[in-house]
Structure 1
């Protein structure tokens, strides 16, 4: 009897072990990996800036972080560094920087305009402005149709108001509040940011992140960021030149180089400022050559009127025209046609006077007297 409980216990344990092995399969570890889509390739274009302020556009996503584009030496004193910023062409494209002479005297370069408003971005491209023409920001109640980016992107993150894109290598979507007219290149040399907090000011004591004071004759601007905003966790403060070409030439923390566009314009030296084209003169307005001196006309004899061949030579050489002569009776002029010398060529007609024709001829027995000849002598007698 004592063996039966032990055998029953062994049998029960074996059955439980068998059931446990069938019911509980080996544990499988599952890892979930989330991959962030890589940003779209940068499209670099060359833009010929307009000569008036363009119309604003409303975009659903923020411009990407800035890129590094070091300007070459200026080709001329009056050259202006234009471009070097993100522009809108159905997607955010890099408007390549280049030197350019102002199109007309007195024109100045107006920086691009970015504004964070109602969760979207209002953008106005950089352009030339005439002398005394001030930039007009979009009014608060302006209604625009929202344009959706073809390449996607990040929604704007940061305070509402005017801004510039973040430094190279920053978190996409962040905006850096800045005054109106600030060149976007002022943040190229700043450290990348991963959180809201970086701003550009005219005065280090001004902490208003929605500052929209115009940057016109200011030599430097100040870029500041708290430790919580930068990628390295350190506070940043830097005085940056307010001129775009000087700010873009500073060494960058992240070398995110801008690609060159497929089309590169000729150097600015080859395209000087536009000058008015000379007026096109019509043919009748062209100066005429001085007329040649015509030979002195000799008085015609009183015996008979001047013959057609004795007309004065024209002031300018003309090609000879065929002359139609009407046949005359043979008895009227028996010797006139035989004695008349051949007409000189056109080139000689202007150089020397026409040969003198005989003053009168003898009347033959059959010649008829011209009735006008008698009238001429009658007038003389009177």
Structure 2
């Protein structure tokens, strides 16, 4: 090869090698340090746009309305309500003012909405009358309610039958539907979640759950222990005989109470004893009633003893405690001209019903006596007829016998005795 060609080939090979080396170096540098691209965006907000407003907090619960009620002397008619009663309130009874006084009230009643029927000591309106606790039943997503009342001795409470047709009453201010199993119940303990119900036997005072912890889920129930002035219930409609129960047991499984712990407590079945038990801290308390206490709160005065002065008459339980900030009271319901003679009408109706029952029992006894006399006369006549028929049969038998003997004598087959 010529020298000039050799030098030209060598220079070309060297140039190619250098170019390849530079390319490889650039590739390696690009892999080791990638380039970063900066992007700038100009965001413009359309005129008139405003951020969404924050939703308002839920409205506070409606204030509790506390009233004094005058219980009727007969079982009132049931009502069907769309929402459940609120949780119970704490209302500690004062000491019993006189022997025989009965603690009535202290439960949720119905006056177009759930109102707190304040408790008080009252004498029975008549001898042998007993206090019947209010009745709550969860039925088809609504609440069947019968308020507390006075009942004559021997008159049993009759639960509303399942086939009874009732129109649903809508609560003023709304509320929460009942949450829990179907059947008889009492409201939940103070501070519980609204709408929850606590299954309980018929006749259980609602105050038995006041000392129990608040619940947030379904599961708490009241069990019947021993001997509550109650009825023997086999289901919600089959009421048998009356018993005397002194204790009830409240049971709640884990996860149902506010603290998540299981609970089991034994509570007196008497309403005033159950309401006086220690309660949970910060439990809601019943407010002062907005109506005047009925005048029938005083004990009966024996014959020959002077009536105490008006200043010594029994005061409502809340008025016996000092009020640091007295509030003006609304117009008492007792001054309503349409309600002044309500108690008198109830008394008259109860007397009329008692008179009708006595007359009915008297007529039934007279009818039984008349039936007995008729049956006795019928039996005597039957005996006389049977006796006469027996005599006739005997006479007929003797007659046939004599005729037979005469025929035999005539035929000569039988000789007469000498």
Alignment of 1:228-377 (within 5 A): 228-253=255-280, 254-265=282-293, 270-272=298-300
8 Å contact 1:227–1:236 — kept in the other structure?
A: yes
Distance 1:119 1:273 in 2: 48
Find the aligned partners of 2:90 and 2:134 in 1 and give their Cα distance. 17
Measured at CA, do residues 201 and 35 of structure 1 come closer, stay the same or move farther in structure 2, by a change above 3 Å? same
Instruction: Give the distance between the partners of 1:79 and 1:202, measured in 2 at CA.
Output: 25
Q: CA RMSD in A?
A: 2.7
Unaligned runs of 5+ in 2: 1-36, 227-233, 304-418
Equivalent in the alignment of 2:119? 97
- CA change 1:131–1:137 in 2 (3 A) is same
Which of 105, 108, 128 is equivalent to 1:83? 105
Q: TM-score normalised to the size of structure 1? A: 0.62
The whole-number CA distance in structure 2 between the counterparts of 1:82 and 1:137 is 20
Question: Compared with structure 1, are the counterparts of its residues 211 and 187 closer, same or farther at alpha carbon in structure 2 (3 Å cutoff)?
Answer: farther
Instruction: Measure how far apart 1:112 and its partner are.
Output: 0.2
CA distance in 1, matches of 2:96, 2:113: 30
Contact 1:79 1:102 in 2 (8 A): yes
Distance 1:115 1:67 in 2: 20
Conserved 8 A contact 1:99-1:267 = no
| 2:129 is the alignment partner of 1:107 | yes
Task: Spell out, residue by residue over 1:287-346, the C-alpha distance to the aligned partner (whole angstroms, 9 max, x if none).
Answer: xxxxxxxxxxxxxxxxxxxxxxxxxxxxxxxxxxxxxxxxxxxxxxxxxxxxxxxxxxxx
Report the alpha carbon displacement of residue 228 of structure 1 after superposing the two structures with TM.
1.3
Of 180, 205, 214, the match for 2:202: 180
- How far is 1:267 from its partner? 7.8
- The CA distance in 2 between the partners of 1:227 and 1:30, in whole Å, is 41
Q: 1:197 to 1:31 in 2, by over 3 A?
A: farther
Aligned to 2:360: none
CA drift of 1:227 comes to: 1.4
Q: Is contact 1:71–1:249 with CA below 8 Å preserved after alignment?
A: yes
Deviates more, 1:257-266 or 1:152-161: 257-266
Please give the per-residue CA displacement for 1:86-105, whole angstroms capped at 9, x wherever unaligned.
Answer: 00000000000000000011
SS in 1 for 2:222: strand
Following the alignment from structure 1 to structure 2, what is the Cα–Cα distance between the partners of residues 194 and 59?
22
Unaligned runs of 5+ in 1: 1-12, 205-209, 276-382
Separation in 1 of the partners of 2:132 and 2:99?
Answer: 19
Matched residue SS, 2:95: coil
Aligned position for 2:42: 21
**Larger C-alpha radius of gyration, 1 or 2?**
1
Cα 1:30/1:136, change in 2 over 3 Å: same
- 1:21 Cα shift? 1.8
Give CA-to-partner distance per residue, 1:32-54, whole Å, 9 cap, x none. 55622211000000001100000
Q: Does 1:35 align with 2:57?
A: yes
Higher helix proportion, which one?
Answer: 2
Q: TM (normalized to structure 2)?
A: 0.56
Match of 1:71 among 93, 117, 120: 93
Change in Cα spacing, 1:59 to 1:215, as seen in structure 2 (3 Å) is farther
Q: Deviations over 1:128-179 (max 9, x none)?
A: 0100000000001010000000121100000000000000000000000000
